[in-house]
Each structure stands twice: as C-alpha cells, then as structure tokens.
Structure 1
Amino acid sequence: MCPPPAAPGAIVVGTFPLESGEWIAPHAHTHHQLAWTRGGVLGVGIGDAYWVLPPTRALWIPAGTRHSTGATRGALLHGLYFPPERCAIDWPDPTPVVVDGLLAHLIAHLSRDDLPEDARLRAEAVAVDLLRPLPTTPIDVPYPVDDRVRAVADALLTDPADPRGLEVHARAIGVSRRTLTRLFTSDTGMTFDHWRTHARLRAALPLLAEGHPVSRVARTVGYATPSSFLAAFRRTVGTSPGRYLGTSTEEAGRGE
C-alpha cells in the first residue's frame, strides 16, 4: 500500500475500509505513517510486536518500518503520511499516541480534498502539535523456529485457554519437560509460562477493545478470575487494560 498523491501541505491522508479479519500484507512506506481507525478495532503487527488500536489510540510508524495492518472488527483505516524531510517528529520507533476528539476531528478535516492550502497548513500544524507519545509497551509474542516448539506455540495461539502445562505439552511432542524448557527459552527468549502469558494477553486485547466484559475475556483466554487476569496484565504491561486502550474496560466490564 502506498500513500495517496501528494497534497499541498506536508500531511497526506488516505482512507482504507477493512473488513473484520482482513489484513494488509506486510509492507513499508517511504513516509512516516500515523495509523488510526474512526470505528472498529485496528491491529498493527511489527515483527513480534502487536498493537491493538481502538478509536482512542493511533500508532506512529516510522518511515521504512515493515508492518502489517488489519481489523479485528470492521474498521475504516485512516493513514496520515508525513514526508520525513518536512516532518518535525522524528520518533525512531513505533509509538502509540492518544486520539482525542479534537485530533479525530482534524484527521477528518484533513481528509477533505477541497481545503484551501492555507487552511490545510494551519490544520496540519495543530494536528502535529497534538501528537503526544504514550508510555505503553507492545505485547511481544516471538514465534518459534524449532518445529517442536512451534507445535506447542500453535496450540496455544489457537486456544489461549489451553490448560495443559509444560509437561503435558512436552509429552505431546515427544521430548522431556527439561528439553522443552530449554528449547522454548533458547528459541523465543522467554520461558514457557512467560510466553503463554503474552499470548493470552495479546488474544485478550481485541476482545477488550470491542467492549467485551473482563470476566468473559479472562475466561476466554484461560484465567479463572478477572482479578488474576488483571494482575497478569498489570505485571506484564505495567498498567491496566483500560489505560492501555484508553477505555474504562476493567471498570465497566467486570460483570456479565
């Protein structure tokens, strides 16, 4: 996917509808990109890192960064493209930002193709000034190379609530618990428990962003109680799901 033809100002806005489950193949841009959706839930994968973006969040993707973009629920992707040579922002890494009502309005405003050049330039200046980085961490789920470890990983990605422990998985692939422990750590850089926690939390994020109750999401991804899920999320990410996503999910959604 390439940015649309250049506009009079420094920012070009492209709009791309995405169906639920639809993903754009990995690609990179010569421009910096800000990926945002007005509705639905957007997902962005960069290497082993994965971001879930409800309408309250956008992701800054530096020029040249290979990424894939998709929708976990039908979304209208707005891509803002910034020529590096004309952009005051030089964040070197993918960076989430808050999208409040004013920024959302400006993105819609900049999507118009009938703006006078002076009005566009003023709106662009305000939009750039509103971009503030969020101190959040993506949830990495390194995909293994070893076929034996991959078999276990695939089982957990298919069913994050799979209750089987390390020893049962080891028997299923014909190795000892000790061997699988060593293989998992050497292949993914994480222990089995650490990797499974990340896989479960990553599976939970789209469900939370869509507004499902925490109690239901916790069970779906393998936690017995909402409190154990929230504790794991805070321990891993450093904040609550609601703050991570810019919602009050865990406050409003504990019950059914």
Structure 2
Amino acid sequence: MRRDYPAGHIVAMHRHDRDQLVYCASGIMQVETSGRLWMAPPQRALWIPAGEDHWMQTMGPVSLCTLYLRPDTRPAGFPDVPQAIEVTALLRELILSAAGISADYDETGRDGRLLALLLEEIAWAPDRALPVPQGRDRRLDRICRAIVAEPGDNRSLEEWALQVGASTRTLARLFQAELGQSFHAWRAMVRAQAALPRLAAGDPVTVIAGDLGYETPGAFSTMFRRFMGRSPSRYFAG
C-alpha cells in the first residue's frame, strides 16, 4: 500500500495482526515502538512485528509505502522486535513494486516470487537500528522528553540533576541501567535523529550544527557519521 501524507500527520497508537514494513519513499516518518523512538528516512525501512503497539508522525510531506506480511511467512531468524533496515537500491525497487500487490496475491505466481525475494533481501540487509530509548524512571523520563523536544539543550548532567531533584551519580546510573548508555551518548543519538529532517529539507550543516549545540560543524559531522555511517552533507545525496 502506498499513500501520501502531509507534514505533521499523526497515526495514533495501534497494532496489526501482520508483520509490517514501513518505508518512506520520500520524506521522513517518526515512529515510536515499545518506548523507543525511530526516524525512518528513505535510506532505512522499519520492520514492525505483528502485535507491536506503535504510533507514527510525519516530519514533513511523506510518500509512505507499507507492506503487511503474514507472520507465518517470516523467514527463520527474522527479528520478533522492531528493527531498522538499510535500504539498498534493489530493496527499494522491491518495496515499491510490492506496495501495489493485493492482500490475496498468488503465492505461486510473480507476486509471490517478488515478495519471497523481498523477504530474502530484508534478511540480508544490514541492521541500521538507531532507536532512541526512553526512560521509565520519572526523573529520567523528564530529562529525555525535554531533550527530545529541544535537542540543542546543552545543560550538563549536573545541571539536570538539580533540575529534577536527583544526584548526578543517580542519573548517570539510570542512563546506563535503563537506556544502556551514558547521558552524553544518548543526547548525541537524539541530535543525530533530530538532524535528519533538517538535512532532508536542505538546511545548511553549519546552521544545524549550531542549533543542535555544537560549537563547530566538524564536531557535529563527526558525531553524525558515527551514528549514521555517512557525513551529513552526503547522507541524502544520491
């Protein structure tokens, strides 16, 4: 299925009885699953297993391709948790072609063979997961929500500790225990995600870097490349 959505369109929390592949042929979609935030640009698709609660919001105009696949057709070893998948040129064409296939397709015909190849390509595609985990502790959750809303906030962990009424040591321990990483690493991940719609819109890297709290474009580019595998100036090129 392929549909176009305007900027700011929200699909409320829901679930499906089939596995779902979410792919933005153009534009960027933000998706939340199991307390994790994902950005889905055209370079990545998001695999959402059947029964997984999720909601979605467009970060600009989006041309969305959605595939629904029966769980019993899932290849062995396929993830039963949400996962971001790198979209190669071949996988992109397979997704675009499969988006027009009806639910009652002939499994032994061309459509069935196309979907079988698509599933095989997904199974071989590199995992490019970059979910932003959200905290469960109320103090941690308060910090996470504030930084997601304003990624350029440069307050230190010590300053946040005073803000939420916890010690710096407690917050550092919570970041590791609940989010699996340090405060600085988590904030950098949020900033990498936040840069995607700005880059897609053509904003200058120098402006994005400053808005996200970096003193130099070079420091921002180093961080972005570490998470995304490409420099910000080349991420949406070609």
- Mark yes or no: TM-score above 0.5: yes
Query: What are the residue-to-residue correspondences of 1:131-150 with 2, within 5 Å?
Result: 131=122, 132-146=124-138, 148-150=139-141
Contact 1:33 1:82 in 2 (8 A): yes
Larger-gyration structure (1/2):
1
* Corresponding position of 1:42: 29
Aligned-partner SS, 1:201 = helix
Q: Pick from 50, 60, 77 the counterpart of residue 63 of structure 1.
A: 50
| Superposed CA offset, 1:111-168 (max 9, x none) | 166x99544334434444443422323132323422x444433332222112222333
The unaligned stretches of length 5 or more in structure 1 are 1-13
Deviation, structure 1 residue 69 = 2.4
* Corresponding position of 1:83: 70
Q: Does 1:230 align with 2:216?
A: no
Deviation, structure 1 residue 35 = 0.9
Q: Does 1:239 align with 2:219?
A: no
Contact 2:175 2:182 in 1 (8 A): yes
Contact 1:214 1:250 in 2 (8 A): no
* Corresponding position of 1:249: 235
Contact 1:106 1:123 in 2 (8 A): no
| Superposed CA offset, 1:21-72 (max 9, x none) | 2222232222121111222212222224333222333222222333222211
Q: Aligned letter for 1:35?
A: V
Task: Tell me how many residue pairs correspond in the alignment.
Answer: 232
What RMSD in Å do the two structures reach over aligned CA positions?
Answer: 3.4
Q: Aligned letter for 2:214?
A: Y
Cα distance in 1 for residues equivalent to 2:21 and 2:173? 39
Please give the TM-score of this superposition, normalised by the length of structure 2.
0.76
Contact 1:110 1:123 in 2 (8 A): no
Cα distance in 2 for residues equivalent to 1:18 and 1:182? 41
Taking only the aligned residue pairs, the percentage that are identical comes to 29
Cα distance in 1 for residues equivalent to 2:162 and 2:25? 47
Contact 1:52 1:206 in 2 (8 A): no
Cα distance in 2 for residues equivalent to 1:121 and 1:187? 42
* Corresponding position of 2:195: 204
